[in-house]
Amino acid sequence: MDNNKLVEVQNLRQYFPVSGGTLFKKKIVKAVDDVSFYINKGETFGLVGESGCGKTTTGRSILRLHEPTSGKIIYDGVDITRVNMLPYRRRMQIVFQDPYASLDPRMTVGDIVGEAIDIHKLAANKSERRERIVELLSLVGLNTEHANRYPHEFSGGQRQRVGIARALAVNPEFIVCDEPISALDVSIQAQVVNMFEELQEKMGLTYLFISHNLSVVKHISNRIGVMYLGKLVELADSEELTLRSVHPYTRSLISAILVADPMAARNTQRIFLEGDVPSPLNPPSGCRFRTRCPYATELCAVEEPEFKEVSPRHFAACHHLDKVK
Amino acid sequence: MNDNLVDIRNARLSFFTPAGEVKALNDVSLFVREGEVLGIVGESGSGKSVTAYSLMGLTAHPGRLIGGDLHFNGHHINIMTERELRKMRGNEVSIIFQDPMTSLNPVYTIGNQITEVILLHTDKTKKEAYERARELLQLVGINEPERRLKQYPHELSGGMRQRVMIAIALACEPKLLIADEPTTALDVTIQAQILELMMDLKKKLGMAIILITHDLGVVAGTCDRIAVMYAGKVVECGSTDEIFYSPSHEYTKGLLQSVPNIYEKERKKLVPIEGAPVDMLNPPAGCPFAPRCHSCMKICLKQMPGYTNLSDTHYSACWLLDKAKFEKEGEARNG
């Protein structure tokens, strides 16, 4: 089991200083606070949560796009928390949310994809480079002539394909997909989701799939982690998590999904949470979910619940699991 | 005339851009009855927002209404002056937008912005208006209304801001509320709250709602009827159950198949709609969906299909439903 892990995150903490506060006491945002999980080779691990819960930060910290405040990131058995990342950049890549903002408007698609090939010196000469670019574009369903065009000439779905081709250029093993379909039209989202699945089959990729859309995450992932205010609150196989969730936050998240089925929609009993997500600058003491939790007691304010295994391969952090029904 | 609250007949609206004419609305007809919730579903650029904006006379340059008739609550929108339109907006029809941050004025307090509408449309005194604003905040489920009235938009969360937008929209108890992607910018748990609030208020105040969205999940639990738009046309319209359980247009079917269902037992592959959205500057001749349609026929590329009535409430524009007509034309061409 153990040697199957490709990525492991141990007690990851990622804090950011914020301007403001008093002169001597700088404020910090604990964007990710003590998060641990692992991702197996060839697996898709989904990370869901509301905006500001730290899911994107987690993804970026794994790639060392942020320098982790503390904790360890272990990639393929090696602790990469403090090493030179260049050799690892070839093995781990990212696809960003907004295909409009993440492609340089002044570069042709060929150069965007080719840049990675140049940096890592993956092509011996120009014709080899061109061949590789064409190969990558066809892999994501674009054709040769697209290489000479600029990003503005493409639709959102096509741009996201370019972003994926760019990530694939270095032949990575692991890709962080950071909300890769949120900015796309509904009719295009399924195309891109299917492409991610096909590429995984073809190239044996491992994904960290970050999204706020639980239905999509459930569809594509083997296991899912749910985050709330910088903490993992529940983690389980995707089937288990959607059908037998135990944490009150996951429950409300699932009940809030707007199902595209009128009968089901009429019959769902929604669990409404009180209020809004508290500010991460000043998170509640104890369990961070307690301010919105229908089961919260005094204990929750004092003591932080432990993230423990409630049934095989199913973890959750809550004091009142027995009461949540 | 009939007694529908909203009656749009054959509306044509184009944007005259430097690159050419964009037919944002291409012969759109829709109606909304009093107290009814109509969902307009479509992807970006399909004309769903423009349809609703045209009802408020909000068709700014370079957009121009070039045909059709728009009726709302006894008004004939086409011939109304700007002054008359202003009197109507915010009073008889209001709108809430997708992004509550950019639609609230950051330099005025919440109280200021709610009372503005009330003072403009009624002859209440400032004090009465303030009192009404407090009531409205309570109505939309905001705690401590006194304190909130004195706050600025940036002090409120996204969900709270959207509640304030709803309060402003409802200040004069309009007959029609237009909600343009009201939940898209919000978090999942807040989305459900806001939709629930809108449906609740609809029951209390009895207004009609036009709900514009790209999310089939949003309309499934809220709407009485749904219109599906594609490239400036209503391609299918019917009751919510008809659209979801017996869709007849290939685009509607495609949309329904392409969203994953969280309750699905096995992992099925999603069935996407192939191709890219229409280029509105150079729309295809014939049915705009034809280039992406897997049952596309010759005629689809040449001619736009007319509507076929499938029930009293359900109609759809697709040649497949029109086989008889199609075959007849084929004979005529051959013979």
Convert the pLDDT of each residue in A116-137 to its tens digit.
999 999 988 999 999 999 999 9
Cβ separation B192–A270 shorter than 8 A: yes
Helix axes B158-170, B110-121, angle to 10 degrees: 10
Assess whether A107 and A86 both reside in one domain.
no
Give, in degrees to the nearest 5, the angle at Cα B236 between B235 and B240.
150
The mean pLDDT value for A279-299 works out to 90
DSSP H helices, chain A, are: 55-62, 86-89, 109-119, 126-139, 156-168, 186-203, 214-220, 238-243, 248-255, 262-267, 298-302
- Of residues B160, B188, B273, nearest to A50 (C-beta): B188
Residue B305 structure tokens: 């299909």
Specify whether the backbone of A179 is left (phi greater than 0), alpha (psi in -120 to 50) or beta.
Answer: left
Domain boundary among A171, A198, A217: A171
One-letter amino acid identity for A73?
A: I
Residue B231 structure tokens: 């490239």
Give, in degrees to the nearest 5, the angle at Cα A202 between A198 and A205.
85
Residue A5 structure tokens: 């892990």
The C-alpha atoms of residue B247 and residue B145 are separated, in whole angstroms, by 45
Cβ separation A50–B260 shorter than 8 A: no
Residue B228 bridge partners (DSSP) = B41, B236
Residue A79 bridge partners (DSSP) = A74
Confidence (pLDDT) at B101: 78
Assess whether A213 and A274 both reside in one domain.
yes
B294-298: long-range contacts (C-beta < 8 A, 24 or more apart)?
B294/B250, B295/B250, B295/B320, B297/B326
* Count of A-B CB contacts under 8 Å: 133
Instruction: Evaluate whether residue A167 is within a structural domain.
Output: yes
Instruction: Evaluate whether residue A322 is within a structural domain.
Output: no
Cβ separation B187–A212 shorter than 8 A: yes
The C-alpha atoms of residue A61 and residue A73 are separated, in whole angstroms, by 9
pLDDT (tens, 9 = 90+) of chain B, 335 residues, equals: 467 999 999 999 999 988 889 999 999 999 999 999 999 999 888 999 999 889 888 887 788 899 999 999 999 999 999 999 999 998 999 999 888 778 899 999 999 999 999 999 999 999 999 999 999 999 998 888 999 999 999 988 888 899 999 999 999 999 999 999 998 888 888 888 899 999 999 999 999 999 999 999 999 989 999 999 999 999 999 999 999 999 999 999 999 988 888 877 767 788 888 888 888 888 888 999 999 998 899 989 999 999 999 999 999 999 998 765 656 666 666 65
The C-alpha atoms of residue B169 and residue B178 are separated, in whole angstroms, by 9
- Any idea what the CATH number is for the domain that residue A185 is in? 3.40.50.300
Closest CA to B172 of B82, B98, B94, B72: B94
The C-alpha atoms of residue A295 and residue B80 are separated, in whole angstroms, by 56
- Give the model confidence (pLDDT) of A44-71 as tens digits: 999 999 888 999 999 999 999 999 999 9
Instruction: Evaluate whether residue A278 is within a structural domain.
Output: yes
Mutation choice for A interface testing from B37, B259, B278 by most A CBs within 10 A = B259
Provide the domain limits for residue A126.
99-171
Helix (H, G, I), strand (E, B) or coil at A154: coil
Assess whether A274 and A164 both reside in one domain.
no
Assess whether A287 and A268 both reside in one domain.
yes
Confidence (pLDDT) at A1: 46
Domain boundary among A171, A195, A213: A171
Assess whether A81 and A186 both reside in one domain.
yes
Q: Which residue of B has its CA nearest to A216?
A: B260
Closest CA to B52 of B160, B212, B191, B248: B212
Question: Percent of chain A having pLDDT more than 70?
Answer: 97
Confidence (pLDDT) at A265: 85
Q: Work out whether the CA dihedral B188, B44, B221, B156 comes out positive or negative.
A: positive
Q: Which residue of B has its CA nearest to A213?
A: B188
β-pair type (A92-95, A174-178): parallel
Instruction: Evaluate whether residue A324 is within a structural domain.
Output: no
Closest CA to B212 of B234, B193, B190, B245: B234
HSE-CB of A231 using CA atoms within 13 angstroms: 22
Cβ separation A276–B260 shorter than 8 A: no
Assess whether A195 and A125 both reside in one domain.
no
Q: Which residue of A has its CA nearest to B159?
A: A276
DSSP H helices, A169-312, are: 186-203, 214-220, 238-243, 248-255, 262-267, 298-302
Assess whether A87 and A145 both reside in one domain.
no
First to last CA, chain B: 44
Helix axes B158-170, B126-139, angle to 10 degrees: 130
Domain count, chain A: 2
Instruction: Evaluate whether residue A321 is within a structural domain.
Output: no
Residue B318 structure tokens: 């697709």
Residue A150 structure tokens: 């600029």
Place of tokens 């207004």: B207
Cβ separation B260–A253 shorter than 8 A: no
The C-alpha atoms of residue B285 and residue B291 are separated, in whole angstroms, by 10
Mutation choice for A interface testing from B161, B211, B263 by most A CBs within 10 A = B263
Cβ separation B258–A218 shorter than 8 A: no
- Which uninterrupted H or E stretch holds B326? helix B323-334
DSSP secondary structure, B9-67, as one string: EEEEEEEEETTEEEEEEEEEEEEE-TT-EEEEE--TTSSHHHHHHHHTT---TTEEEEE
- Of residues B44, B191, B270, nearest to A190 (C-beta): B270
Given a cut of 60, whether residue A307 has pLDDT beyond it is yes
Q: How many CB atoms lie within 10 A of CB B266?
A: 5
Q: Distance (Å) from the C-alpha of residue B88 to the closest C-alpha of chain A?
A: 33
Mutation choice for A interface testing from B199, B270, B280 by most A CBs within 10 A = B270
Assess whether A132 and A231 both reside in one domain.
no
- Of residues A185, A213, A270, nearest to B214 (C-beta): A185
Domain boundary among A171, A200, A219: A171
Instruction: Evaluate whether residue A12 is within a structural domain.
Output: yes
| CB B274, CB A141: distance < 8 Å | no
B177 Cβ contact partners less than 8 Å away, ≥ 6 residues apart: B93, B94, B95, B96, B169, B170, B198, B202, B207, B208, B209, B210
Assess whether A151 and A236 both reside in one domain.
no
Mutation choice for A interface testing from B99, B187, B197, B280 by most A CBs within 10 A = B187
Q: In what order do the strands lie in the sheet with A70-75?
A: A26-40, A5-21, A70-75, A78-79
Q: Distance (Å) from the C-alpha of residue B183 to the closest C-alpha of chain A?
A: 11
Assess whether A214 and A72 both reside in one domain.
yes
Cβ separation B270–A254 shorter than 8 A: no
In degrees and rounded to multiples of 5, residue B194 shows phi and psi of -65, -40
The C-alpha atoms of residue A94 and residue A220 are separated, in whole angstroms, by 17
Assess whether A40 and A152 both reside in one domain.
no
Burial track B236-245 (b if 16+ CB lie within 10 A, e otherwise): bbbbbebbbe
Assess whether A115 and A85 both reside in one domain.
no
Instruction: Evaluate whether residue A138 is within a structural domain.
Output: yes
- Residue B270 DSSP code: P
Cβ separation A187–B241 shorter than 8 A: no
Instruction: Evaluate whether residue A308 is within a structural domain.
Output: yes
Burial of A170 (0-12, 13-18, 19+ CB in 10 A): middle
Compute the mean pLDDT over every residue in chain A, rounded to the nearest whole number.
91
In degrees and rounded to multiples of 5, residue A166 shows phi and psi of -65, -40
- Which uninterrupted H or E stretch holds B138? helix B126-139
Confidence (pLDDT) at B290: 93
Cβ separation B221–A262 shorter than 8 A: yes
